[in-house]
């Protein structure tokens, strides 16, 4: 296959296993494969937060083709008459999009392909979505039960390199460093490029959304919109920014919607690939140094914002993370030259060998090795890498850099069971023609959860007891030896209805010089008073219990990691039983987006009548 022909290939819409298609040179059947969205077998009328006005009861054609643009004109779908039979789950639909603009304002066609017009869910959730855009593990039933009517509830956009470098450096100097702000719109005025982009985005988002936060830091710009009917119960509590010319930039904001904390962390990590020598003897060392810096920067950015990956219920990290595809050494163990990597890249892309590309993805390896972001998950990429492209529609690579999945969206849920965030659609927009990157967008679903108590009984209190506590494989900071760890556990909960028992302490004793501490005789006991909460758990459904592993040192105590327990999930498991227990529960300590050890415990729940 010639280079031109290879560069004009469609996205593979094939099997999730990432195996190569046996055919090339023509449009494969799998490239035309659509994710079937026929009506489900459920009964009853459609329900959901989105609403369903008449003009929104249309499926939207969402066509992907090289250079042809999106056909966003609405059309009636053949299964419209069956919509009343389709059951939908209630919850929040969260749209997250990230785009590196490469210092060029996008044209109208590119932005229209990227953003859901007026926030309509049908522009992302429609019957013509391709199989490669639907996240692995999402069944037809799961897909159909996410309401495609109306408009998404939350819309978050992150743009990197949205200003010329000279302007961005000036803003970085004026507004650099770590800041904390509890305001909303926070963009310095007088920047023509930003105003032009603002106008374009607001025109696409429409009047049915309230802008909760807009922040420009260096050349990064973040918007958080909430559908206007939910704005009265929503607020942005704080925004942290971190800027470093050598490391990158991050903007972290926490949005509260009806008591649920959603943190959105937009990052751009600097990559010094252009400074890495191309001599075979030094390529490996240069790449490792660059990768190590990116991993440490991610942790630094998370910790600088008070680690929202632990303090919020659900967390999204997105942006130009700049992790590259780095093929392994050849069979002789010799590092590939730059020319060899180019050949390998072309070969993998020609075969659409997504599994092999994923195995060479630095981010996937960093998560697997617990070097960075192991607390998060990200959907498998069943499509062409998003960087480095020529400024045109379609897939036309600039092979001066290894094609890589530089632009990503990751998610973490601290709530368990039915309350986890579900990734539904995850896709690049390769009609976007004005950047060296192809933007990424994702549609995520956060199901509602209710705690149902027996209406015939009086409100109850519950006693939660933790015993047989132990830690394993505690991971201190790099400058602390494992033999110097003196750990103890600290328990805390912010909910007013959750109180420590008078006979119990909020911490364990300190154990010395071990990374495998045990507390076999200590008991931690909480009482949850449900008489002060609504009978359906509206005040406790978002309550989190924190167990911090502390290291007692000469200069004071430091946090090794934090384990998060979803109290509502414990209640849901035990509410129908007078007494419930679970032994050897395993969970993880996290710090800065990484695992820092394991926690084991026994838990016992006893329900009692309030006095």
The CATH number assigned to the domain holding 583 equals: 2.60.40.150
Residues 537 and 494 in one domain: yes
Q: What is the pLDDT of residues 385-435, one digit of tens each?
A: 999 999 999 999 998 888 999 999 999 999 988 889 999 999 999 999 999
Residues 368 and 413 in one domain: yes
Give the domain CATH number at 343. 3.60.10.10
Q: Is residue 273 predicted with pLDDT exceeding 80?
A: no
Residues 347 and 413 in one domain: yes
Looking at 447, 469, 503, the residue that finishes a domain is: 447
Q: What is the pLDDT of residues 120-159, one digit of tens each?
A: 999 999 878 888 999 999 998 899 999 999 999 999 999 9
Residue with tokens 């132990």: 470
Q: pLDDT class for 73, splitting at 50, 70, 90?
A: very low
Using alpha carbons, list the distances in angstroms from residue 410 to 39, 53, 312, 442, 473.
30, 32, 15, 10, 25
Residues 427 and 508 in one domain: no
For the entire predicted model, the pTM comes to 0.82
How many angstroms separate the CA atoms of 199 and 181, rounded?
A: 24
pLDDT in the model for residue 460: 74
Task: Look at the chain and report how many structural domains it folds into.
Answer: 2
How many angstroms separate the CA atoms of 539 and 214, rounded?
A: 30
- What are the tokens at 340? 């060899």
Residues 74 and 104 in one domain: yes
DSSP run (H or E) holding 574: helix 567-574
Residues 407 and 482 in one domain: no
Phi, psi of 517 (to 5 degrees): -75, 150
Query: What value does the mean pLDDT of the chain take?
Result: 81
Q: pLDDT class for 41, splitting at 50, 70, 90?
A: very low
Q: Is residue 570 predicted with pLDDT exceeding 80?
A: yes
Q: What number of other Cβ atoms are within 10 A of residue 100's Cβ? A: 26
Residue, of 458 and 520, whose pLDDT is higher: 520
Residue 64 in any domain: the answer is yes
Residues 557 and 434 in one domain: no
Residues 87 and 169 in one domain: yes
| Beta strands at 154-160 and 220-227: parallel, antiparallel or unpaired | antiparallel
Average pLDDT over residues 341-367: 91
Residue 11 in any domain: the answer is no
Average pLDDT over residues 167-195: 45
Domain that holds residue 287: 37-447
Contact 389, 424 (CB under 8 A): no
Residue 475 in any domain: the answer is yes
Looking at 447, 475, 505, the residue that finishes a domain is: 447
Q: To the nearest whole percent, how much of the chain has pLDDT over 70? A: 74
Residue 352 in any domain: the answer is yes
How many angstroms separate the CA atoms of 96 and 426, rounded?
A: 10
How many angstroms separate the CA atoms of 383 and 428, rounded?
A: 8
How many angstroms separate the CA atoms of 335 and 327, rounded?
A: 9
Residues 486 and 377 in one domain: no
> For the chain, how many residues are written?
611
Q: HSE-up of 244 (CA within 13 Å, CB side)? A: 16
Residues 369 and 465 in one domain: no
Looking at 385, 413, 447, the residue that finishes a domain is: 447
């Amino acid at each position: 296959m010639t280079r031109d022909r290879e560069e004009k290939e469609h996205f593979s819409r094939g099997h999730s296993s990432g195996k190569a298609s046996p055919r090339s040179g023509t449009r494969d059947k799998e490239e035309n494969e659509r994710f079937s969205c026929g009506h489900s077998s459920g009964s009853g009328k459609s329900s959901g937060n989105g609403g369903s006005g008449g003009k929104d009861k249309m499926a939207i054609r969402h066509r992907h083709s090289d250079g042809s643009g999106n056909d966003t004109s609405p059309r009636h779908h053949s299964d419209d008459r069956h919509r009343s039979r389709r059951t939908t789950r209630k919850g929040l639909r969260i749209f997250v999009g990230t785009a590196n603009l490469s210092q060029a304002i996008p044209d109208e066609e590119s932005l229209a392909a990227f953003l859901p017009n007026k926030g309509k869910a049908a522009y992302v959730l429609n019957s013509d979505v391709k199989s490669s855009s639907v996240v692995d593990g999402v069944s037809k039933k799961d897909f159909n039960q996410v309401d495609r009517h109306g408009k998404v509830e939350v819309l978050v956009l992150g743009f990197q390199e949205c200003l010329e470098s000279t302007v961005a450096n000036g803003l970085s100097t004026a507004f650099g460093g770590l800041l904390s702000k509890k305001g909303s719109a926070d963009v310095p005025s007088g920047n023509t490029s930003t105003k032009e982009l603002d106008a374009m985005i607001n025109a696409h988002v429409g009047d049915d959304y309230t802008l909760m936060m807009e922040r420009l830091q260096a050349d990064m710009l973040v918007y958080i919109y909430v559908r206007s009917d939910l704005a009265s119960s929503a607020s942005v509590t704080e925004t942290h920014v971190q800027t470093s010319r050598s490391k990158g930039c991050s903007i972290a904001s926490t949005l509260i919607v009806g008591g649920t904390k959603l943190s959105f962390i937009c990052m751009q990590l600097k990559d010094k690939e252009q400074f890495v020598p191309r001599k075979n003897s030094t390529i490996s060392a240069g790449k490792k140094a660059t990768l190590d810096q990116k991993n440490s920067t991610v942790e630094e950015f998370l910790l600088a914002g008070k680690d929202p990956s632990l303090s919020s219920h659900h967390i999204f990290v997105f942006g130009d993370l700049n992790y590259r595809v780095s093929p392994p050494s050849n069979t002789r163990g010799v590092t590939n030259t730059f020319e060899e990597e180019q050949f390998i890249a072309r070969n993998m892309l020609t075969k659409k060998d997504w599994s092999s590309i994923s195995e060479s993805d630095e981010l996937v390896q960093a998560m697997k090795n617990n070097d960075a972001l192991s607390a998060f998950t990200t959907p498998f990429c069943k499509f062409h890498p998003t960087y480095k492209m020529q400024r045109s529609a379609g897939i036309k690579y600039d092979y001066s850099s290894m094609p890589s999945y530089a632009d990503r969206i990751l998610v973490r849920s601290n709530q368990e069971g039915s309350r986890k965030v579900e990734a539904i659609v995850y896709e690049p927009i390769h009609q976007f023609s004005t950047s060296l990157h192809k933007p990424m967008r994702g549609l995520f679903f956060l199901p509602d959860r209710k705690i149902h108590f027996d209406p015939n009984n009086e409100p109850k209190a519950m006693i939660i007891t933790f015993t047989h506590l132990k830690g394993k494989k505690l991971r201190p900071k790099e400058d602390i030896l494992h033999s110097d760890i003196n750990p103890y556990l600290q328990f805390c909960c912010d909910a007013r209805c959750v109180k420590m028992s008078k006979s119990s302490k909020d911490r364990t004793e300190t154990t010395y010089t071990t990374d495998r501490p045990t507390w076999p005789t200590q008991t931690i006991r909480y009482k949850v008073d449900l008489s002060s909460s609504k009978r359906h758990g509206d005040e406790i459904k978002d309550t989190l219990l924190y167990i911090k592993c502390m290291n007692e040192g000469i200069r004071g105590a430091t946090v090794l990691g934090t384990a998060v327990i979803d109290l509502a999930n414990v209640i849901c498991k035990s509410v129908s039983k007078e007494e419930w227990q679970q032994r050897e529960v395993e969970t993880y300590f996290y710090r800065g987006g990484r695992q820092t050890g394991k926690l084991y415990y026994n838990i016992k729940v006893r329900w009692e009548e309030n006095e």
